[in-house]
Structure 1
Amino acid sequence: MSHRILLAAITALMITPVHAETITLRVLGQPSGSGLIAQKKEQPFFEKLAATTGLDIKIEYLPVDVAGIPDTDGLRVLKSGLFDIVSLRGPQVSRDEPAMLGLDLVGLNTSFAAGKAHIAAFTPFVDERLQGRFNAKLLGVWPAGPQVIFCKPEVKSLADLKGLKVRVGDQSAANFVAKLGATGISMPFGEVQQSLARGVVDCAITGPASANSGGWPEATTTVLPLALQLAVNGYAINTASLKKLTPEQQAKLTAAIGELTTEIWAFSEELYEDAMRCNTGKTPCERGVSYKLTEATPSETDLKAVAAAVGDVSLPIWAKQCNAVAPNCETVWRATVGSQLGL
């Protein structure tokens, strides 16, 4: 009888459901002062992710600047497993993986519609690179918004940038302004406003919403609304962290982040239009501070110069860098994105 009781006890233990421990996912987010996309979309999404998806997870969200980690280290952080999910800043992490820059070369994404088509075409290659080199799965890509030019001296066209110092976001932009006779200078976003005020730089490139939140219009006079790039960012997860989830859980997480990126695309377009009105003293100005910048009108020559920049400047230089680490990089880009442009 004692044996039957023991057997029954063992059987009961075997069929008793075992509840897995709640999985904690550490998320490294956009900088705390980077603007409304981080404040209104990204951070609330991750903080509510467990509730909205029903996943048995706990999210620990931390902006990259609060964590004290350089935003250039996003891919290294993913590979190390220090954070499970990272909100990658495309231009910054392209130093570690040049393929990222292929999503947003200067002159490539001159509108949101163009950006969607070009980014979708090259994303599979970028994802393949991240999985192979950084143990990271790319879950979504989104734009901060059209990157335009803000200047302290009055400018009316790209030709007026000759001889000026221009803060740029990446090497592609630096190469473009160099061809115009300007000097591209790289510096953290938080230093730009004071640098403009003190004359360290004459002009700077960013999105209108970021410029507004950073107070750039207080130190500039003119905005030239030529969309040079879209400032592409993305969400990636460490592959080992992803494997901690069941296939069903993975599908839910992937779908949720896919919905987030779709929302950000639409929100980014709304922010651009509103911020352009705010920066130039027009109404309605709903999400920013109203300023009185002069809005220069891009000439046909300017528009052609930006469009030609892909084939003339940004592609040739970037292709050499990308091919150096991925010999098929340019070939894949030309077969996917380039075919849409007729290159």
Structure 2
Amino acid sequence: MTTKLALMAATALIATPALAENLNVVGSWSGLPLHKQYEAPFWTKTLPEASGGDLEVALTTHDQMGLGLGDIYRLLGQGVYDVAMTVADYAVADAPELEGLDVPLLALDAESARAMVDAARPMVEDIYNTRFNSHVLAIAPYPPQVVFCNAEISGLDNLQGKKVRASGRMTAKFLEALGAEGVNVSFSEVPGALQKGVVDCAVTGAGSGYSAGWWEVSTHLLPIPLGGWDSVVTAINLDKWNSLSETQQTVISDSIAAEFEGPAWASAQDALVNDIACLTGNGECPVGDARGMTLVEASQADFDKARAILVSEVLPDWAERAGGDWASRWNASVGEVVGVQVPTN
């Protein structure tokens, strides 16, 4: 009888499938294309299928949870949830060295931006390990952060003297060096601020501005990446990552690179062209009604002036805030790719 019971128990164990690993995932802004087109499908469908049911995901977003933007990675490091993704700039108060990931106006197209991010990735991985007890899984772009103005402008020089909502700390420093006043306004409050004259201009992704109706309270669009490409970092709590099997880690790493990060980058350049068409009517809008904002073309003089300000004022200021050897590491990686060096006296 004992032998029979033991055999039955062993047979039951063999027949019982292993329990799936559950991942609690917090995505970026729920209403924006990056989440709707790439994040949500990847986490809710692609990854569970790629794992053969070994990984299950419960997905929400930081805006649906009402999280403070500066708290997202702090809570990730504490293990409040397993995976989080949001704009790296939201974390620079805790990690000023992270500003070097997305310097404004150095990458003017998606290919250059991807090269810049790839060069910065080893630094970013070190920052997330030490600052946020987390492991970087992916870095994907929002479309470049362009300028919406409820005032007549013809180029970069016209921002001088204007109140401008920046999309990150380094962008704010650049605006100040340009002679503009950087104003801290949350994304959701920008339409009212533009309408009431609290700000004259505001920086965000062209697609984000279209989706949020900024064209209703703006007249001019300057489509240069004044706020960089607003890199979104996806990271997993380091303790959670280390608890996964090697097979699970490989499935996550391979799947997220091929099915999330790669496609998001591949669509970034076309997304900018389409978003500009949607905002200005210059071209076909594939997602809705085209609007009538005035398209302002930046000149080569604009770009030359911007690079001079970055090298002489903005990057040295960042290097001082970041401290340590971050400027040297940036020079040897990102700087080599974009042809810019931070002075390190």
Is the pair's TM-score, using the shorter chain for normalization, greater than 0.5?
yes
In the TM superposition, residue 13 of structure 1 has moved relative to its aligned partner by 4.1
Aligned to 1:248: 247
In the TM superposition, residue 171 of structure 1 has moved relative to its aligned partner by 1.2
1:80 paired to 2:78: yes
User: Aligned ranges for residues 152-163 of structure 1 at < 5 Å?
Assistant: 152-163=150-161
- Which blocks of at least 5 consecutive residues in structure 1 are unaligned? none
Distance 1:305 1:114 in 2: 19
Q: Deviations over 1:200-220 (max 9, x none)?
A: 100001111111011111111
Question: More deviation in 175-184 or 109-118?
Answer: 109-118
Distance 1:288 1:316 in 2: 43
In the TM superposition, residue 96 of structure 1 has moved relative to its aligned partner by 1.5
Say if 2:94 and 2:131, in contact at 8 Å, map to a contact too.
no
Aligned residues: 335
Question: More deviation in 237-246 or 51-60?
Answer: 51-60
Say if 1:74 and 1:89, in contact at 8 Å, map to a contact too.
no
In the TM superposition, residue 10 of structure 1 has moved relative to its aligned partner by 4.1
Aligned to 1:145: 143
In the TM superposition, residue 7 of structure 1 has moved relative to its aligned partner by 5.3
Task: Provide closer, same or farther for how the CA distance between residues 103 and 254 of structure 1 changes in structure 2, counting only shifts above 3 A.
Answer: same
Distance 1:55 1:117 in 2: 34
Aligned to 2:336: 339
**RMSD (Å), alpha carbons:** 1.8
Aligned partner of 1:6 among 2, 16, 39: 2
In the TM superposition, residue 336 of structure 1 has moved relative to its aligned partner by 1.1
Aligned to 2:261: 261
1:26 paired to 2:24: yes
Aligned to 1:329: 326
Task: Provide closer, same or farther for how the CA distance between residues 55 and 109 of structure 1 changes in structure 2, counting only shifts above 3 A.
Answer: farther
1:164 paired to 2:151: no
Q: Residue type matched to 1:92 in 2?
A: Y
Aligned partner of 1:54 among 49, 52, 55: 52
Q: Deviations over 1:219-278 (max 9, x none)?
A: 111111222211111110012222332101110011111120111112222221101011
User: Aligned ranges for residues 43-192 of structure 1 at < 5 Å?
Assistant: 43-48=40-45, 49-192=47-190
Say if 2:50 and 2:251, in contact at 8 Å, map to a contact too.
no
Aligned to 2:35: 38
Say if 2:98 and 2:127, in contact at 8 Å, map to a contact too.
no
Distance 2:229 2:99 in 1: 11
Distance 2:267 2:300 in 1: 29
1:234 paired to 2:233: yes
Distance 1:148 1:313 in 2: 21
Say if 2:76 and 2:236, in contact at 8 Å, map to a contact too.
yes
Q: Residue type matched to 1:319 in 2?
A: A
Say if 1:122 and 1:333, in contact at 8 Å, map to a contact too.
yes
Q: Residue type matched to 2:117 in 1?
A: I
Question: More deviation in 311-320 or 169-178?
Answer: 311-320
- Which blocks of at least 5 consecutive residues in structure 2 are unaligned? none
Q: Give percent identity, aligned residues only.
A: 30
Say if 1:50 and 1:59, in contact at 8 Å, map to a contact too.
yes
Say if 2:48 and 2:57, in contact at 8 Å, map to a contact too.
yes
Distance 1:339 1:37 in 2: 29
TM-score (norm 2): 0.92
Say if 1:37 and 1:267, in contact at 8 Å, map to a contact too.
no
In the TM superposition, residue 306 of structure 1 has moved relative to its aligned partner by 2.3
3-state SS of the aligned residue for 2:189? helix
TM-score (norm 1): 0.92
Q: Residue type matched to 2:174 in 1?
A: F
3-state SS of the aligned residue for 2:267? helix
Q: Residue type matched to 2:96 in 1?
A: P
1:284 paired to 2:284: yes
Say if 1:91 and 1:101, in contact at 8 Å, map to a contact too.
yes
Say if 2:284 and 2:290, in contact at 8 Å, map to a contact too.
no
Task: Provide closer, same or farther for how the CA distance between residues 192 and 218 of structure 1 changes in structure 2, counting only shifts above 3 A.
Answer: same
Say if 1:147 and 1:230, in contact at 8 Å, map to a contact too.
yes
